[in-house]
Chains A and B, each alone.
Chain A
Amino acid sequence: KAGVTQTPRYLIKTRGQQVTLSCSPISGHRSVSWYQQTPGQGLQFLFEYFSETQRNKGNFPGRFSGRQFSNSRSEMNVSTLELGDSALYLCASSLGTAEKLFFGSGTQLSVL
């Protein structure tokens, strides 16, 4: 069974640009959540989607958004990038909303 797949693996953008990250969950998993990891703040929850609906959102500005498609694949978008958005963005999937989470390899975003 394939694991959680995140694309791209690395991304370099400049301030003010926008970026879209993609996540394909493990087959059969309907819940997808996103986390941001930085050296200063550690791992922080961004949002969770289940059956195309956002169930939960972390404390991030509105520049961070996401969506989930009918096949459970998810995308997150960050608009008007700032230097502080440089981070490893991790996607996790689970069967339901009260299950074990399995993570992908992450997308390393660098904002110059």
Chain B
Amino acid sequence: AQKITQTQPGMFVQEKEAVTLDCTYDTSDQSYGLFWYKQPSSGEMIFLIYQGSYDEQNATEGRYSLNFQKARKSANLVISASQLGDSAMYFCAMREFTGANNLVFGTGTRLTVIP
């Protein structure tokens, strides 16, 4: 069964610094996708970045990059130059494309950016 583990319940980062949010996953599927979402206090789940299991390059989207280490089954999110507006819950999720196909989420990491 697919599983996502986020071991950091909370993280603090100084404004303008970089921060890494950890995510490890478990799957027996060869074809899957890894996602990161941001959820501010308003509740909306905002898509940040996606990495396919067959993508050879690490995904990047602006200040977000995904450090994909397939052999270690990790998909850490790196946020560069943190901003106050980055304070939110961050969820790592996985979708097995040949299995159940639904998103399975981790428990999330609450990031607080300090001025």
Contact = CB atoms under 8 A, between A and B. Distances in A.
Nearest to A6: B44
Contacts of B101: 48, 55-56, 97-98
A86 interface: no
B95 interface: yes
Interface of A: 33, 35, 42-43, 45, 48, 55-56, 58, 88, 90, 92, 97-98, 100-106, 108
Interface stretch (B10-18, B66-74, B104-112): B104-112
Closest 8 CB pairs of A and B: A103-B45, A43-B105, A45-B102, A105-B44, A98-B97, A106-B43, A100-B50, A102-B47
Nearest to B31: A98
B95 A101 contact: yes
Nearest to B43: A106
Interface string B27-69: 0000101010100001111110010000000000000000000
Contacts of A101: 35, 47, 95, 103
A102 B95 CA distance: 13
B40 to A, nearest CB: 10
